[in-house]
Structure 1
Amino acid sequence: MFLLPLLVTNLLLVAAEIDTEVQYCDKDAQNCGNEVEVVDDTKLIFYDVNPPEGFNLRRDVYMRFAVMVAEARKKGRKNWELVLPPWYNLYHWKSEKRVPIPWNKFFDIDSLKSFAPVVEMYEVFSRIKNDVLELDTVYVLQNFEDSFEDGNFVEEWGIVGNCEYDEGFWGYKNITAKEVVCVKFQGKISKLKELISLHPHDKKIMFTHGEIPLHDLYGLKSYWDCRKSMKFNKKLEKIAKKYIAEYLDCNSKKCKNYLSVHWRRQDFARSRGNDVPSIAGTVKQLHKNLRRLPEIKKVFIASDASMSEINKLEKDLTELGYEIHFFLPSLAIINEYGDGGIAIIDQIICSRATYFIGTHESTFSYRIQEEREILGFKSDTTFNRLCPDSGICIKPSRWTIVNK
């Protein structure tokens, strides 16, 4: 198919300067590029996600692309590399400055690289001659109007034509694109290789709305191998470990003396009232579960609830004889790691509890359940949920780890 060239001239962004430990490429910085551009046969795959999507859904989208690139390498495409899209301007993050954050702030990059050939954005800038990164083609993925035409889901794609990309490039003003193309797409992520093959000589290809393509190997060994490689930044692990030891009296990765809860409020309480309990309903359910675990008196709660809701929940549970804990980050931790790092610390603490109760269809809870599968907890202690005060309460799906 023939694609008309289109130069995007209105998307020139500069990344705000950040601390020296994490490395960015500001167009005015002296370390933005080498004196001579590195010339090789590498094909860089960039992607982005719909802006309103949260941190934990984005982690899942990463896995889709990482598995695709890892599988492509196994089949001879040794030159493919996946560029990690900086964390930028996430809707749910309130404490962050409007600057792009590299993955090494939250994850162990060496561990990610043990599964797939990934590269940080600042590493990409270090390879180019100029301080402007020019992408060859940006594919703006769009959903088909009717995914189940005639009652069947068919994997397909079709080029709509040249279009504009107005969502920015992760806060950078020094990224441009030669061509932007809108594509209707539905199917597994491996089908993106058909789009990549349209221009075999392109070296820098980007897909927007990376949440649209589906997993190829969801729940299979490659999925879990990728998931196990997503180890957290060691400093975040250390903070969580210290908290668990000091406040929850445990020095093990599999603790036996506290129950953990992910109590999702805010948008879930507003838009999913039929899926989540009231404060009184939450207290009732936790008390019921804890009576079946008489040796457990400590409860750790991860929540986005308002302070008044948290105070009410804590008061009611304390009156029932339980010791309630929340992770309250210091100003230094907030400044260093922001909402993303605090979320990871909460997840680590929840994942090591003897028993976990999550929120229905929350990706935050999903990631904790995956961590617990990797740690080897029994499924009965992991796949549990808070139920609405009345009506049907569907049990959580169980996706257990596959190691072989």
Structure 2
Amino acid sequence: MVLISFFVMHLLFAAAQDIDYCDVSAKSCDTLADKKLIFYDVNPPEGFNLRRDVYMRFAVMLAEAHKRGKRANYQLVLPPWYHLYHWKTTRDQKDWGSFFDLDSLKSYAPVLEMHEVMTKTPKLSIDRLYVLQNYEDAFEGGVFKEKWELSNSDCYYDGFWGYNNITVKEKICVRFQGKVSKLWELTTLHPSDTKIMFAHGEIPLHDTYGTKSYWDCRKSMKFNKNLVDMATKYVSENFKCNSEKCNTYLSIHWRRQDFLYGRKDLVPSVKGTVKQIDEALKKNKLKTEKIFIATDASDSEIKNLIKELKALMYEVFLYVPSRSELAIYGDGGVAIVEQIICARSLFFIGTHESTFSFRIQEEREILGFDSESTFNRFCPDSGACEKPSKWRVVQ
């Protein structure tokens, strides 16, 4: 009787403290009670591929700390994909498993999906929300210095990915510049906090851009198997290739929309685009007439581009998802399928300063393509044309 009473009292105390318990007879007894969780979010206008890069900054930050035997109880919570500005059809919340192999992500860094956290508690209370802000002058005195300071200026955050059961105990405005690992200094301000969030996660910089740590993280970002299968089927049916490295087609990423206005000095006209594709095929003696196009161009621009290419006897391909594929995977899934197709092509031409093109170049580096077939860009019809940087994979 005494033992039973003690057990009941122990459960009541645990419930009062909001601690998770599970059946000891279960195969796994997963609990977050002894974990410290780091949440982050990104400026709403930022796109899918920049957000992938921000994830890597935080994932490397935690993975490197764990390697050094530090902060072993910290885990990174992946922010759901929600209402991205560039997505035209996807408005509902998507988790990371919709686009990536979650087991592969977890093999590199201690990450959790948001829904894994939310199923543990009906209400989530974040101890401290740090809203990061840029300094007005990053190069004060002509020198870039890593630094941060608590700010009295107003900082606004109203996100939480559509959840209405998340609250914050305290919001703190922070001017910040430097590498992402410097955020650990903020976590020491309130060492008893177990749930910490950083808004504007795009502000901290990579600790190890282009190093082995960077590429180890990047390699772990394997795509959702269903998306890989969709791309594989498309390549097999249209380009008669059943491997990850094909020699039967050229691919391009033709960025338009905001680039036509904000960065018009970086992109060519339709005729200029056709001329550069034709020259690339002839200069590199590529024996194919098949061209795959990934683009956000308007229907009229796409029609004009196809018309001009067909006049030179080229066969043009675009990936058009079915209604069911679009409903399940949304714009993000379609973008990944296009990137996989581009990554496997004989030769790739991208758009300068586009993160969509950057991600394709990284995939091609991982697959082992020659850099000369990967780091190519469209140039404006006239004027200077800076050659793209070559970020080689580090083993």
Question: Normalising by the residue count of structure 1, what TM-score does the alignment of the two structures yield?
Answer: 0.89
Partner of 2:394: 402
| 2:187 is aligned with 1:193 | no
Q: Does 1:168 align with 2:162?
A: no
Query: Does 2:46 align with 1:68?
Result: no
Residue 40 of structure 2: aligned partner:
47
Q: Give me the whole-angstrom Cα distance separating, in 1, the residues matched to 2:181 and 2:286.
A: 49
Deviations 1:157-187 (A, max 9, x none): 0001496643220111111100000000000
Q: State the aligned residue count.
A: 368
Residues 24-103 of structure 1 mapped to structure 2, 5 A cutoff: 38=31, 40-75=33-68, 76-97=70-91, 99-103=92-96
Q: Secondary structure at the match of 1:369?
A: helix
1:56-104, Cα deviation, whole Å (9 max, x unpaired): 000000000000011111222110100000001101001012x321000
2:20/2:32 contact within 8 Å kept: no
Pairing 1:143-158 to 2, within 5 Å after superposition: 143-158=134-149
Matched, 1:111 2:111: no
State the shift of 1:125 in Å: 1.5
Whether the aligned pair in 1 keeps the contact of 2:344 and 2:364 (CA below 8 Å) is yes
How large is the RMSD of aligned CA atoms in angstroms?
Answer: 1.5
Q: Name the aligned partner's letter for residue 254 of structure 1.
A: K
Measure, in 2, the Cα distance between the counterparts of 1:156 and 1:382. Answer: 37
2:130–2:198 contact (8 Å) kept in structure 1: yes
Structure 1 unaligned residues grouped into runs of 5+: 1-32
* Residue 276 (structure 1) aligned with residue 270 (structure 2): no
Deviation at 1:294, TM superposition (A): 4.3
Deviations 1:136-172 (A, max 9, x none): 0000000001000000001000001496643220111
Contact 1:301 1:324 in 2 (8 A): yes
- Please state if 1:220 is matched with 2:211: yes
Q: Deviation of residue 127 (structure 1)?
A: 2.4
The Cα shift of 1:286 comes to 0.5
**Contact in 1 for aligned 2:99/2:332 (Cα 8 Å):** yes
Paired with 1:106 and 1:294, the residues of 2 have a C-alpha distance of: 32
Percent of counterpart pairs with the same letter?
Answer: 62
Paired residue for 1:322, among 314, 324, 329?
Answer: 314
Contact kept? 1:379, 1:398, Cα under 8 Å: yes
Alignment of 1:330-369 (within 5 A): 330-369=322-361
What corresponds to 1:203 in structure 2? 194
Contact map agreement 1:163 1:181 (CA 8 A) in 2: no
**In structure 1, how many angstroms separate the alpha carbons of the residues matched to 2:348 and 2:82?**
30
1:38 offset after TM fit, Å?
4.5
1:262 corresponds in structure 2 to 253
1:306 Cα deviation (Å)? Answer: 0.7
Q: 5+ unaligned residues in a row in structure 2: which ranges?
A: 1-18, 23-29
Select the structure with the greater relative contact order (CA < 8 A; seq sep ≥ 6).
1
Partner SS, residue 345 of structure 2: coil
- Give the alignment's TM-score, normalised by structure 2: 0.91
Distance 1:38 1:362 in 2: 40
Q: Which has the higher helix share?
A: 2
Asked whether the 8 Å contact 1:259–1:353 carries over to 2, the reply is: yes
Aligned residue for 1:170, secondary structure, equals helix
| Partner residue, 2:14 | none
Per-residue CA distance 1:363-383 (angstroms, 9 max, x = gap): 000000000000000100000
Tell me: CA distance 1:319–1:71, structure 2 relative to 1, closer, same or farther (3 Å).
Answer: same
Contact 2:127 2:170 in 1 (8 A): yes
Q: Which amino acid is the alignment partner of residue 134 of structure 1?
A: S
- State whether structure 2 residue 117 is matched by structure 1 residue 124: yes
Question: For the pair shown, which has the larger CA radius of gyration, 1 or 2?
Answer: 2
Tell me the distance in 1 between the aligned counterparts of 2:150 and 2:375. Answer: 41
Tell me the secondary structure at the aligned position of residue 289 of structure 1: helix
